[in-house]
Chain A
């Protein structure tokens, strides 16, 4: 079953890997150049893992899966990730 969700639904998977709150990070799509907050991106969850797509051009920005004790992280669809840090 494939459900279209939004970036909030990827928050748990991303927070397992990154030490930052990733839903408020800005991601530049490598496909169309649009910049979106990760929370506003489109997310599909499968048994295999989580895919984060651009709401504008459908490019897969981030793929995350966890299998056999490893995280598999494919971020080739992200040109730039901007993460704000507390000053």
Chain B
């Protein structure tokens, strides 16, 4: 059982967008300054609340993409869901200087810090990469050399979020291996995997179970449940496979 600290009440804070970054055609990163922010751990999320002029409120959860460090700001990466109430506004309308309501950090289960050890196996589907990216960014920033493998499933090359940063991280760090699979469309010269994550693919990419890997799986519910079941079938310890399901359509 992990140790728990008193957190105090979860309260809404007003933040200001200080930077935006287009990641893919459907995703955008928003960096938000929060004067009362007390910091976070890699893997945690925040709730965002939007209030319409008539008082109607909608809340959604988004994983934090940035590493802990700067105590007074954080970055979330949001995928636009076409039928969404919140994400189209965050991706298409919000501008630098705009304000938004946010609370957190939330969650202590889907968290990884270097002291937890490894070897680390991260599996992401679509925007499920976001909390895993916070872990990878923190791992790099803290100089950790814990052997780490990332398996990232995207629909197409253009939809790989943080593609260049992941390329750079894996090229500059011999203890980090990044494997991609593209499930729908692949470029002609694609040398990565080209199918949904199956047992054989996990057998090639995942750490052998004898090494007692610590695993984090995040993405759409179907992918997460399928990968978690296959890992357990490979001999992974259930208690060391942590999952975060986004639901069927993405968007935490």
Give the size of the chain A interface in residues (CB under 8 angstroms).
28
Beta-carbon contact of B109 and A23 below 8 Å? yes
Whether A59 sits at the interface, judged by CB under 8 Å, is no
- Chain B contact patch, size range: 20 to 34
Whether A65 sits at the interface, judged by CB under 8 Å, is no
Q: How many pairs of A and B residues are in contact by the CB < 8 Å rule?
A: 89
Interface of A is mostly: mixed
Beta-carbon contact of B61 and A21 below 8 Å? no
Stretch at the interface among B21-29, B140-148, B160-168, B242-250: B242-250
A28–chain B nearest beta-carbon distance, Å: 12
Beta-carbon contact of A26 and B1 below 8 Å? yes
Stretch at the interface among B7-15, B174-182, B202-210: B7-15
CA distance A9 to B48 in the complex (A): 13
Beta-carbon contact of B7 and A15 below 8 Å? yes
1/0 contact string of B30-54 vs chain A (CB within 8 Å): 0000000000000001010000000
Residues from chain B with Cβ under 8 Å of A84 in the complex = 1-4
Beta-carbon contact of A12 and B9 below 8 Å? no
Beta-carbon contact of B4 and A25 below 8 Å? yes
A6 contacts which of B108, B243, B248 (Cβ < 8 Å)? B243
B106–chain A nearest beta-carbon distance, Å: 5
A4-B221, A6-B245, A86-B4 known; A16+B10 contact, CB < 8 A: yes
Which residues of A are at the interface with B, using a C-beta cutoff of 8 A?
A: 3-9, 11-12, 15-16, 19-21, 23-26, 37-40, 82-87
Which residues of B are at the interface with A, using a C-beta cutoff of 8 A?
A: 1-10, 45, 47, 61, 103-104, 106-110, 221, 242-248
A-B contact pairs, 26 of them (CB 8 A): A3-B247, A4-B221, A5-B221, A5-B247, A6-B243, A6-B245, A7-B109, A8-B106, A8-B109, A11-B107, A11-B109, A12-B10, A12-B47, A16-B9, A19-B9, A20-B5, A21-B5, A23-B108, A25-B4, A37-B109, A39-B109, A40-B243, A83-B4, A84-B4, A85-B3, A86-B3
